[in-house]
Amino acid sequence: GVAATVKHFALNNKETNRKHADSRCSERAIREIYLKAFELIIKEADPWSLMTSYNVINGHRASENADLLNGILREEWGYEGMVTTDWWTYGEHYKEAMAGNDIKLGAGYPERLMEALEKGLLTREAMEKCAEHILGMILKLE
Protein backbone atom coordinates (compact mmCIF):
# COMPACT_ATOMS: atom_id res chain seq x y z
CA GLY A 1 0.00 0.00 0.00
CA VAL A 2 0.82 3.65 -0.16
CA ALA A 3 0.34 6.47 2.33
CA ALA A 4 0.82 10.19 1.80
CA THR A 5 3.04 12.04 4.28
CA VAL A 6 2.05 15.54 5.33
CA LYS A 7 5.10 17.81 5.62
CA HIS A 8 6.96 19.94 6.79
CA PHE A 9 5.55 20.40 10.28
CA ALA A 10 5.93 23.31 11.10
CA LEU A 11 6.93 26.90 10.27
CA ASN A 12 9.08 25.66 7.39
CA ASN A 13 8.89 28.70 5.17
CA LYS A 14 12.38 29.00 3.69
CA GLU A 15 14.97 26.72 2.11
CA THR A 16 18.17 28.67 2.79
CA ASN A 17 19.80 27.58 6.06
CA ARG A 18 16.66 25.63 6.94
CA LYS A 19 18.48 23.15 9.20
CA HIS A 20 19.71 25.93 11.47
CA ALA A 21 17.15 28.72 11.09
CA ASP A 22 15.22 29.65 14.24
CA SER A 23 11.68 30.64 13.27
CA ARG A 24 10.75 33.18 15.95
CA CYS A 25 7.01 33.68 16.17
CA SER A 26 4.25 34.41 18.69
CA GLU A 27 1.96 31.55 19.73
CA ARG A 28 -1.00 33.37 18.20
CA ALA A 29 0.70 33.71 14.80
CA ILE A 30 1.90 30.11 14.96
CA ARG A 31 -1.63 28.82 15.59
CA GLU A 32 -3.53 31.20 13.29
CA ILE A 33 -1.12 31.29 10.35
CA TYR A 34 1.37 28.42 10.36
CA LEU A 35 -0.55 25.59 12.01
CA LYS A 36 -4.07 26.21 10.69
CA ALA A 37 -3.62 24.27 7.43
CA PHE A 38 -2.03 21.36 9.32
CA GLU A 39 -4.89 21.36 11.82
CA LEU A 40 -7.48 21.14 9.04
CA ILE A 41 -5.58 18.33 7.32
CA ILE A 42 -5.21 16.33 10.55
CA LYS A 43 -8.84 16.74 11.58
CA GLU A 44 -10.46 16.30 8.17
CA ALA A 45 -8.17 13.94 6.23
CA ASP A 46 -6.72 11.87 9.10
CA PRO A 47 -3.35 11.25 7.38
CA TRP A 48 -1.34 8.19 8.36
CA SER A 49 2.04 9.93 8.38
CA LEU A 50 3.48 13.37 9.13
CA MET A 51 7.05 14.66 8.68
CA THR A 52 8.60 17.28 10.94
CA SER A 53 10.62 20.15 9.54
CA TYR A 54 14.36 20.77 9.95
CA ASN A 55 14.06 24.21 11.49
CA VAL A 56 14.11 25.45 15.05
CA ILE A 57 10.93 27.07 16.41
CA ASN A 58 11.43 29.66 19.14
CA GLY A 59 14.64 27.97 20.26
CA HIS A 60 13.40 24.35 20.03
CA ARG A 61 14.14 22.05 17.10
CA ALA A 62 10.84 21.04 15.43
CA SER A 63 11.75 17.34 15.52
CA GLU A 64 12.38 17.52 19.31
CA ASN A 65 9.46 19.80 20.18
CA ALA A 66 7.18 17.93 22.62
CA ASP A 67 4.77 20.88 22.91
CA LEU A 68 4.25 20.79 19.15
CA LEU A 69 4.18 17.01 18.63
CA ASN A 70 2.77 15.46 21.80
CA GLY A 71 0.85 18.56 22.85
CA ILE A 72 -0.77 20.26 19.87
CA LEU A 73 -0.60 17.48 17.26
CA ARG A 74 -1.53 14.46 19.37
CA GLU A 75 -3.37 15.75 22.45
CA GLU A 76 -5.20 18.80 21.04
CA TRP A 77 -5.87 17.59 17.50
CA GLY A 78 -6.14 13.87 18.27
CA TYR A 79 -3.56 12.70 15.73
CA GLU A 80 -2.85 8.97 16.06
CA GLY A 81 -0.62 8.40 13.02
CA MET A 82 3.12 8.06 12.64
CA VAL A 83 5.50 11.02 12.89
CA THR A 84 8.87 10.98 11.15
CA THR A 85 11.82 13.34 10.93
CA ASP A 86 13.06 14.69 7.65
CA TRP A 87 16.22 13.04 6.30
CA TRP A 88 19.39 13.66 8.33
CA THR A 89 17.82 16.07 10.79
CA TYR A 90 20.19 17.50 13.40
CA GLY A 91 17.92 16.57 16.30
CA GLU A 92 19.09 14.19 19.04
CA HIS A 93 17.37 10.84 18.48
CA TYR A 94 16.26 10.22 22.09
CA LYS A 95 14.87 13.77 22.39
CA GLU A 96 12.91 13.24 19.19
CA ALA A 97 11.45 9.98 20.50
CA MET A 98 10.50 11.62 23.82
CA ALA A 99 8.81 14.46 21.91
CA GLY A 100 6.63 12.08 19.88
CA ASN A 101 8.73 11.64 16.75
CA ASP A 102 8.47 7.94 15.92
CA ILE A 103 11.16 7.44 13.24
CA LYS A 104 14.47 9.17 12.52
CA LEU A 105 15.00 9.08 8.75
CA GLY A 106 18.42 8.85 7.17
CA ALA A 107 20.24 7.47 10.17
CA GLY A 108 18.79 6.37 13.45
CA TYR A 109 21.04 5.81 16.41
CA PRO A 110 19.86 2.70 18.30
CA GLU A 111 22.94 2.71 20.53
CA ARG A 112 22.18 6.29 21.62
CA LEU A 113 18.58 5.33 22.32
CA MET A 114 19.69 2.43 24.52
CA GLU A 115 22.18 4.66 26.34
CA ALA A 116 19.49 7.33 26.90
CA LEU A 117 17.11 4.63 28.15
CA GLU A 118 19.72 3.37 30.63
CA LYS A 119 20.42 6.94 31.84
CA GLY A 120 16.72 7.70 32.28
CA LEU A 121 16.68 10.33 29.52
CA LEU A 122 14.28 8.22 27.46
CA THR A 123 11.36 6.23 28.84
CA ARG A 124 10.20 2.77 27.87
CA GLU A 125 6.70 4.24 27.52
CA ALA A 126 7.92 6.70 24.86
CA MET A 127 9.67 3.89 22.98
CA GLU A 128 6.54 1.73 23.09
CA LYS A 129 4.44 4.63 21.75
CA CYS A 130 6.87 5.01 18.84
CA ALA A 131 6.63 1.28 18.13
CA GLU A 132 2.83 1.43 18.35
CA HIS A 133 2.64 4.23 15.77
CA ILE A 134 5.12 2.53 13.42
CA LEU A 135 3.37 -0.85 13.62
CA GLY A 136 -0.02 0.84 13.19
CA MET A 137 1.22 2.34 9.92
CA ILE A 138 2.58 -1.00 8.73
CA LEU A 139 -0.73 -2.74 9.46
CA LYS A 140 -2.68 -0.08 7.57
CA LEU A 141 -0.48 -0.56 4.51
CA GLU A 142 -1.23 -4.27 4.17
- Is 63 within 8 Å of 101 (Cβ atoms)? yes
Using CA atoms of 72, 115, 131, 124 in order, give the dihedral in degrees to the nearest 10.
-80
- Give how far Cα 26 sits from Cα of 11, 14, 32, 140, Å: 12, 18, 10, 37
* Residues designated catalytic: 86
133 close to 113: Cβ distance less than 8 angstroms = no
